Amino acid sequence: MKQMMQNPLAQLKDIHLPPEPGWWPPAFGWWLLAALLLALICFALIRYSRHRARLRPIKLALKELQEMNLDVDDPEERRRLLQQLSGLMRRFSLSFFPEESVAELCGQEWLNFICAKSSKISAKETEKAFSPLIQDPYAPVCNADLSALGKSLEMWFDGLKKKKRSKNTLSRKAERPKGGSNS
Give the gyration radius of the chain's Cα atoms.
34
pLDDT given at position 174:
46
Distance of alpha carbon 148 from alpha carbon 127, whole angstroms: 13
Instruction: Determine the residue type at 71.
Output: D
DSSP 39-106: HHHHHHHHHHHHHHHHHHHHHHHHHHHHHS------HHHHHHHHHHHHHHHHHHHHHHS-HHHHTT--
Distance of alpha carbon 32 from alpha carbon 12, whole angstroms: 44
pLDDT given at position 32:
96
pLDDT given at position 168:
42
Distance of alpha carbon 10 from alpha carbon 51, whole angstroms: 76
- What DSSP character marks residue 14? P
Per-residue pLDDT of the chain (183 residues; tens, 9 = 90+): 555 678 888 888 888 899 888 888 888 999 999 999 999 999 999 999 999 999 999 999 999 999 988 888 887 888 888 889 988 998 999 888 876 678 888 888 888 888 888 877 777 888 888 888 887 777 777 777 888 888 989 999 988 887 665 454 444 444 444 444 444
pLDDT given at position 164:
61
Domain residue ranges of the chain, discontinuous segments joined by +: 34-163+170-175
Distance of alpha carbon 163 from alpha carbon 59, whole angstroms: 14
From the DSSP assignment, how many helices (H) and strands (E) are in the chain? Answer: 9, 0
pLDDT given at position 163:
67
